[in-house]
Amino acid sequence: MSTKLLLSFLLVFGVFTLNAQESSVSELQLMPWPQEVNVNSSDFKITKDFSIYIHGEVKEDSRIFKASTRFLRYMTDKSGVFVNQGFPNSKGMDTESASLQIGFNEVAKVEMGIDESYTLIVDKGGIKINAATDVGAMHGLSTLLQLIKVNDGAYVFTGVSIEDEPRFVWRGLMMDVARHFMPIEVVKRNIDAMAFVKLNVFHWHLSDDQGFRVELNTLPKLTEMASDGLFYTQDQIRDIVAYADARGIRVVPEFDVPGHGSAFLTAYPELGSKKDIEYSLERDAGIFDPTLDPTNDKTYEFMDTLFKEAAPLFQDVYFHIGGDENEGKHWHENPEIQQFMKENDLKDNHELQTYFNIKLEKILAKYGKSLMGWEEIMTENMPKSALIHSWRGVNEGVAPGQSLVDAVKNGYKTILSNGYYIDLLLSVEDHYAVDPMPAIELTKEEASRILGGEATMWSELVTPLTIDSRIWPRTAAIAERFWSAKEVTDVDSMLERMNSISQSLELMGIQHKKASEYIFRNLANYQDTHALRTLSQISEPFKIYSRNAGGTEYKTYSPFTLFADACIVDAKDVRPFRKAVEAYIKSADTQTKEAVQQYLKTWKGLHEQLEMISPDAPLIATILPYANRVAEISERLLNGIAEGKLTQEQFNDLKLLLESKEDPSLNLDVELAVSKDLLVLATYLAE
């Protein structure tokens, strides 16, 4: 039975008894899940004799040679095995008996629509990867790396046969480096992680109100006056593009215009729509008024100069021009712009922005680029060659993904980011429930215009220290939505596999776990961090931008080394505690009772532990009221369990404590993520 059919069968009929073959399939820790998987009982053991042979003429600087070499390093780092041949196609190798045989038909040009399929066979006799392109073969290597497990005290590759290909051609991650600049090493390690989970588009958001991040010799003021000295040189841009290309990943740049224009206008104020103000870089987060003047011919001369120099730095055909969140306030306040609109029969700001976008589309075409932009660029007159990036949802006053449907029905190609805004800090389950293909009837041609989607990492509230912990491992689950069959939706399976992938991501160099540990040490002033870590496992950072309500609380230079920055989405102990409470309510025997009590006893003691280190750690003082509240709630519930019940008065007091607007966690920008489960437990004890 294929894995796809197996998963569908399990989901529909709730079958839990599997034969040996199916049980093995369910134990695989693969993400994204392949299209077809079969498991055999013939694992391949990793020994010092492990070797790789790549068929065909392969140079040492080729994409597949370097990818295979990286694979060897990851494999040996994981297994600790000292291999005799540390590179593919080593001299003197017996090519016939090489452990891993890699074959492919052609070296791909990394562009949209290339063949990324592969087959992978592992058995006792060896490992074979075959693909149409070298990029497909590299995907096979990523899957193979995820097949490493321990069997009989040794590291092995699980015996499998896999046939795999992506469901969507556009599988992206957007990284905003304008709000908080991300150094080269941060970008590179995230590109490595993208390749590991088979994402293939790195969308690089390079300009916004807080800064412009690309060196342009023809427009030097952009980095001299509008970058705070934090930007990428052209050599660094080329290096990143080449680095991504070597991993089968396209780089799509974004310069956001005509809104989000503070950086542009700080450097070149003459292009602004309002002439009597002094423009400057924004230090807050939010939506601001500075906007390029679409009626000024010099604006288009500027954009032509910008794209002429910037376009050749990037290999991909698409150039993202933003186009979002332009409220047009400065357009309304400029009489000359209003007169221009009347003279050109432009009814509103949307039509004026379309006028601007059409001119940009022609400029980009001159330099061999196709325009894409956020959904606001879609109007009746926008050329069908434009790619529409759907992002808005209920909070923005539109139906989620509606622009995706409107785009395909009006002849546009489109990608989806609504539902994949990872900076909202929603649970991975929320993102995993969203599929790029809408649940409405589309023609085959309309459906073909949905290219895929992108996870978006806006950086108002992240720094180079914390960005990995906000992207990973949740984006691995989103990558599965873009790659795997639509029927692969089992949440419990996803969570188990994501935990395994999270460990592998550390092997890639991702610092999603390391960052929290550093922050804990900093908060504790290098004293014992156990209590902080334990408290963080039931605490989650504020969601949906509520940490930065009003756009003025945190600035670009504020500290992001606080307790909220160490806490992660999907806090570690939330689901286990929920299951413990559910089991206790179901049976209330000694075992389930002790399981719940153990959690509560642990949480009760956290305040005392933190208080002990607080004299030499001033930052702990802000956390103590929250820890005290957790301790008080835990103690009351422990007493209730010991007594076998809560009185109505005790329950009311506990409910008030759990739901109080005076909750000290609010001052920490975190929420007690087990609050609902604590209330469920209290309700049970009061019945």
Catalytic-role residue among 165, 325, 446, 632: 325
Annotation says 325 is catalytic = yes
- Quick one: which H or E segment has residue 638? helix 624-643
**Beta strand ranges found along 462-510 (DSSP E):** none
User: Is the CB of residue 139 less than 8 Å from the CB of residue 421?
Assistant: no
Tell me how far CA of residue 126 lies from CA of 140, 156, 456, 509, 633, in angstroms.
15, 11, 40, 28, 57
Tell me how far CA of residue 267 lies from CA of 279, 281, 349, 385, 423, in angstroms.
8, 9, 25, 31, 29
Alpha carbon distance 322, 313 (integer Å)? 18
Q: Which amino acid is at 375?
A: E
Alpha carbon distance 540, 563 (integer Å)? 10
SS3 call for 143: helix
- Beta bridge partner(s), residue 44: 157
**Chain Cα centroid distance, residue 267:** 32
Peptide bond into 253 cis (omega under 30): no
CB neighbour list of residue 257: distance below 8 Å, 6 or more residues apart: 264, 292, 303, 321, 322, 323, 356, 360
User: Minimal CA–CA distance to 193: which of 165, 168, 173?
Assistant: 173
* Sheet of 100-106, strands arranged across: 36-39, 160-164, 118-123, 126-133, 100-106, 52-54
SS3 call for 94: coil
Alpha carbon distance 665, 603 (integer Å)? 15
Tell me how far CA of residue 272 lies from CA of 209, 278, 334, 373, in angstroms.
13, 10, 10, 21
Q: Which amino acid is at 562?
A: L
DSSP letter (8 states) at residue 618: G
68's tokens: 């295979």
Q: Work out the number of other CB atoms within 10 angstroms of the CB of residue 646.
A: 24
φ, ψ at 22 (rounded to 5°): -70, -35
Alpha carbon distance 596, 283 (integer Å)? 46
Catalytic sites, residue numbers: 325
